[in-house]
Amino acid sequence: MIKCNVICFLIEKLKVVAKASNVNPKDPEFPSSGVEDMTRLAYLHEPGVLQNLKCRFDMNEIYTYTANILIAVNPFQRLPHLYANNMMEKYKGAALGELSPHPFAIADSAYRQMINEKISQAILVSGESGAGKTESTKMLMQYLAFMGGQNSNTEERSVEQKVLESNPVLEAFGNAKTVRNNNSSRFGKFVEIQFNEWGRISGAAIRTYLLERSRVCQVSDPERNYHCFYMLCAAPAEDVEKYKLGNPRTFHYLNQSNCIDLDVLDDSKEYLETRRAMDVVGINQAEQESIFRVVAGILHLGNVEFAKGKETDAAEPKDVKSRLHLKTVSELFMCDEKSLEDSLVKRIIVTRGESITKALDPDTAALSRDALAKIVYSKLFDWLVEKINISIGQDPKSKFLIGVLDIYGFESFKTNSFEQFCINLTNEKLQQHFNQHVFKMEQEEYKKEEIDWSYIEFVDNQDILDLIEKKPGGIIALLDEACMFPRSTHETFAEKLYQTFKDHKRFIKPKLARTDFTICHYAGDVSIFMLWHSNEPHLGFT
Ligand SMILES: Nc1ncnc2c1ncn2[C@@H]1O[C@H](COP(=O)(O)OP(=O)(O)OP(=O)(O)O)[C@@H](O)[C@H]1O
């Protein structure tokens, strides 16, 4: 018997020698056009999966199944053959796998299961930024609207039309250009489509999560702030004048990045489109005025700079220009100018019924200003979502619902902050749900049928979840504890983490770090920087 432990092969005339144990076996019957369902591959390993996706992608087949999971590879170009008008009709009622892989098939399967089994369904859309989650979500929604739409003959727009038409409004305020995606959603979204007992759409609700607040005050090259700021600067002249705006490059919250104009996006056109979409979803003219007053107010707020005042350690607006911006903010926000100034340059500390007013230095006043801008913007976003929900209308008597979750994928940047910490925790939780759903339940099934399942391996991520959210003792619990102590700083908090988790295999203290720490997530290691924003105490840092 010959025991082979070295393999020799040629790759583009290059001789490669490798240990047999390091080489993945090739599917002997792999068709040149790949397979529609990965479970048909004899060997399901990473190179095999990637090769299959590539073969299909090269033929403009961007969708592939792995059993009832649909994998989509972003084509970055319109592929009309996939979304022709008759396609939805074709997928209606077809069993999963009968036709080519497609989001319509997933939506159809969810709809049928809801009707047949009379239980609500959820579709999870996950992937990293720019992968195509939002586009896929739109297709799922389109199909559900096609299947469950009410054929009303009245002038009034149907629920499904309103849901689809609310997208441009949400995108104007919740999307921005990032390194990876010109129209990146900077919030998570769960859209609930409610159905009556006959399977017709009777209501809907949009729930949003984790809007990226830091972007309002901090943008770096080649990214942009939220689209609505640039749109308003590019609005018709009378609006620009009304809100005292002008060139976006003159605003601190926009000019930290050199990226202002986008080839693929005409901000002035988008402004008019957003206004039209607002009309459609029932935001009246007076409300639209208020919304854009807030947007403009935030831009002026960002231009208020501070300098040392007459009293020691006290800040005041730096010059005439800053005073003018402050005055404009108070007019746009419709608040008293002096009270606004006081809220930025002073802090009120309440102790046992007594309140002490403390003057802030210029740097802390600037942080106060940014904290105010962030909180106002996120309240505006929440208000918009609420308004859209009222306009769409929920059905309190709905029998079932189909929820579509379009949420941020795992994030790992050069600098990661509390936002990445929360996003990655969400993804760990989703990953665990996926593991439980797909693997643990499959294993139970195999056990019941006495089939050998020992070859199925997966990494259980419970230990990472415990590290972050276990009560008591996890990172979040320790953070809560630290927040109760007025003398906590990010150094004392980091020290506590270093001591508590020094032997935890998912926690690393980077060499020379004093406040950073690394979490070893299922998708990779992420170093978190500056978890503790001690300078934003009055508005909290979440
Ligand atoms: N099926 C598709 N067909 C054509 N183009 C697509 C498709 N899916 C995605 N794209 C293109 O890729 C871009 C990014 O997709 P999308 O915004 O859906 O990504 P995402 O995963 O939601 O990203 P983020 O997490 O940053 O919001 C889209 O603007 C579109 O141009």
pLDDT, one tens digit per residue, over 309-356 is: 887 778 999 999 999 999 999 999 999 999 999 999 998 877 777 888
User: What residues act catalytically?
Assistant: 129-130, 134, 181, 184-185, 409, 411
Beta bridge partners, 69, equal 66
Q: Output the CA torsion sign for 317, 320, 325, 327.
A: positive
Report the pocket of ligand 1 as residue ranges, CB < 6 Å. 74-79, 127, 129-135, 181, 183-185, 408
Ligand-binding annotation for 527, yes or no, is no
- The full 3-state SS of 208-277, as one line of letters, equals EECCCCHHHCCCCCCCCCEHHHHHHHCCCHHHHHHCCCCCHHHCHHHHCCCCCCECCECHHHHHHHHHHH
Q: Which residues of 318-332 are buried (b: 16+ CB within 10 A; e: fewer)?
A: eeeebeebbbbbbbb
Q: Which domains does the chain have, with CATH numbers?
A: 418-528 (1.20.58.530)
pLDDT of amino acid 89: 94
| Interval 254-308: pLDDT, tens | 999 999 999 989 999 999 999 999 998 889 999 999 999 999 999 999 999 999 9
For the question of an ipTM over 0.95, the answer is yes
pLDDT of amino acid 230: 98
CB 403 within 8 A of CB 190: yes
Pocket probe for ligand 1: among 139, 181, 413, the residue whose CB has the most ligand atoms within 8 Å is 181
DSSP letter string, 378-427: HHHHHHHHHHHHHHH---TT-SEEEEEEE-------SSB-HHHHHHHHHH
168 prior amide bond cis, ω within 30: no
Nearest-CA residue for atom 3 of ligand 1: 78
Ligand-binding annotation for 130, yes or no, is yes
CB-based burial label for 138 (10 Å; 0-12, 13-18, 19+): middle
pLDDT of amino acid 474: 96
Distance 78 CA to ligand 1 centre (A): 11
Ligand-binding annotation for 134, yes or no, is yes
Cα gap 58→346, rounded to integer Å: 61
CB-based burial label for 527 (10 Å; 0-12, 13-18, 19+): middle
Determine phi and psi for 264, rounding to 5 degrees.
-90, 0
Distance 136 CA to ligand 1 centre (A): 8
Ligand-binding annotation for 286, yes or no, is no
DSSP letter string, 134-196: HHHHHHHHHHHHHHH-----SSSPPHHHHHHHHHHHHHHHHEE--SS-TTEE-SEEEEEEEE-
pLDDT of amino acid 455: 64
Greatest CA separation for the chain: 92
Task: Give pLDDT < 70 ranges for the chain.
Answer: 1-5, 7-9, 11, 151-155, 455-456, 530-542
CB 233 within 8 A of CB 253: no
- The full 3-state SS of 327-338, as one line of letters, equals HHHHHHHCCCHH
CB 52 within 8 A of CB 41: yes
Q: Which residues of 496-526 are buried (b: 16+ CB within 10 A; e: fewer)?
A: bbbeebeeeebbbbeeeeebbbbbbbbbeeb
pLDDT of amino acid 18: 84
Q: Output the CA torsion sign for 215, 217, 220, 226.
A: positive
* All residues at 6 or more sequence positions from 268 whose CB lies less than 8 Å from its CB, including other chains: 231, 234, 235, 236
* Cβ neighbours of 214 (radius 10 Å): 15
Pocket probe for ligand 1: among 177, 183, 212, the residue whose CB has the most ligand atoms within 8 Å is 183
